[in-house]
């Protein structure tokens, strides 16, 4: 089968190419959303130490309060602020000086500082993030950096693993596994009970999104010819940026990280139907001895585009013998 000639006779772009290309755009937009999601999910708001006996327990603590000047060391710069990871030590209750009128009085605090493991966050921009829920700041901030590295390691490994699977079992085979696994792991991330599960499930989601992105790009561009191929490839790059813009809108209206993560997972659900909607790569079918299936795909595309492809472009002597005995 003369694949290049058959594809060229379909035209540079037609109804069938448009259909396949539009399907390929969804994974590209999803990639723009998911790949940059940690910018908001793992954002680190301004924070300070929790001050015992001064700050109320729970989420009711106010980031800016009247006792900060005596309980938190100041940082002098262009704007006076307070240290994020240290606080002044308090005098033991049993030896409180008589002139300490209340628990937050300046006389209760010493000039010595200590680190802390409980923090109060500024919630003006974010109601909650992964960092605020799991306290990944100060001496634990490296854990969030490691999680981000694992996330992008998932992108790298997903591109490699699904690339190998696509070469061996077909491009469409990627969409038989990646959407289900990617959607499930994305939803799991939104309900993650601990930091380890969040990082692990996020890496799996990243791997699946990377696999779907590159596979959709290949199939979407393969059927398009001429100068349209260059334009459509560039549009894919633009759509990645569109996905990033959509993520910004999501993060603007959804300020809780668990809810945001769940919203991010929803567009991935659109790809669950792709095993039935996406065609297989014609070039992959021919190179793997599935000529009869490739001919069916070309004929279907020709019917959509209302063009005629001569038989000599579809069958060679070897193809005819293979086709008759399949």
Output the pLDDT for position 259: 96
What is the Cα–Cα distance from 56 to 59, expressed in whole angstroms? Answer: 8
What is the Cα–Cα distance from 140 to 118, expressed in whole angstroms? Answer: 12
Output the pLDDT for position 308: 81
Output the pLDDT for position 122: 87
Thinking of the domain 3-42+140-309, which architecture would CATH place it in?
Answer: Up-down Bundle (1.20)
What is the Cα–Cα distance from 219 to 131, expressed in whole angstroms? Answer: 38
Q: What percent of the chain shows pLDDT beyond 70?
A: 87
The pTM of this model reads 0.84
What is the Cα–Cα distance from 182 to 202, expressed in whole angstroms? Answer: 9
* 137 phi, psi to nearest 5 deg: -130, 170
Q: How far is CA 236 from each of CA 64, 65, 68, 292, 319, rounded to the nearest angstrom?
A: 45, 49, 50, 31, 35
Strand partners, 82: 74
What is the Cα–Cα distance from 16 to 112, expressed in whole angstroms? Answer: 73
Output the pLDDT for position 317: 40
How confident is the prediction along the chain (326 residues), in pLDDT tens digits per residue? 567 777 777 777 889 889 999 999 999 999 999 999 999 999 999 888 888 878 787 666 777 777 777 888 888 766 667 888 888 888 765 555 555 445 677 777 888 888 888 888 888 889 999 999 999 998 999 999 999 999 999 999 999 999 999 999 988 889 999 999 999 999 999 999 999 999 999 999 999 999 999 999 988 888 888 788 889 889 999 999 999 999 999 999 999 999 999 999 999 999 999 989 888 888 888 888 888 888 888 888 888 888 887 777 676 544 433 443 34
Map residue 278 onto helix, strand or coil.
Answer: coil
Task: Judge residue 131's burial from the number of C-beta atoms within 10 Å of its C-beta, 0-12 exposed, 13-18 middle, 19 or more buried.
Answer: buried
Domain boundaries, the chain: 3-42+140-309, 47-122
Tens-place pLDDT, residues 188-214: 999 999 999 999 999 999 999 999 999
Tokens of 91: 């005098």
Site of tokens 């634990």: 140
């Amino acid at each position: 089968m003369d694949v290049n000639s058959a594809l060229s006779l379909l035209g540079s772009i037609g109804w069938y190419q448009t259909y396949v290309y539009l399907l390929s755009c969804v994974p590209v937009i999803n990639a723009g959303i998911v790949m940059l999601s940690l910018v908001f999910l793992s954002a680190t708001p301004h924070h300070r130490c929790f001050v015992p006996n001064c700050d109320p327990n729970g989420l009711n603590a106010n980031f800016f309060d009247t006792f900060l000047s005596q309980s938190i060391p100041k940082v002098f710069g262009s704007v006076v602020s307070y240290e994020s990871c240290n606080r002044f030590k308090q005098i033991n209750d049993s030896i409180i000086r008589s002139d300490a009128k209340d628990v937050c009085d300046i006389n209760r605090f010493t000039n010595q500082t200590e680190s802390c493991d409980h923090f109060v966050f500024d919630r003006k921009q974010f109601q909650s993030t992964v960092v605020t829920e799991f306290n990944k700041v100060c001496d634990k901030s490296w854990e969030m950096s490691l999680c981000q590295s694992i996330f992008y390691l998932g992108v790298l490994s997903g591109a490699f693993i699904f690339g190998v699977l696509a070469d061996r079992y077909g491009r469409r085979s990627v969409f038989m596994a990646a959407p289900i696994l990617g959607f499930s792991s994305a939803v799991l991330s939104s309900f993650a009970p601990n930091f380890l599960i969040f990082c692990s499930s996020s890496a799996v989601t990243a791997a699946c999104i990377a696999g779907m992105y590159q596979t959709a790009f290949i199939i979407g561009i393969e059927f398009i010819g001429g100068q349209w191929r260059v334009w459509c490839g560039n549009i894919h790059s633009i759509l990645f940026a569109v996905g990033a813009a959509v993520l910004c809108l999501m993060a603007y209206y959804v300020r809780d990280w668990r809810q945001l993560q769940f919203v991010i997972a929803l567009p991935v659900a659109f790809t669950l139907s792709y095993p039935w909607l996406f065609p297989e790569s014609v070039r992959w079918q021919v190179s793997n001895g599935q000529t009869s299936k490739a001919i069916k795909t070309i004929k279907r595309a020709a019917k959509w585009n209302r063009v005629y492809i001569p038989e000599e472009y579809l069958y060679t002597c070897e193809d005819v013998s293979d086709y008759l005995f399949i």
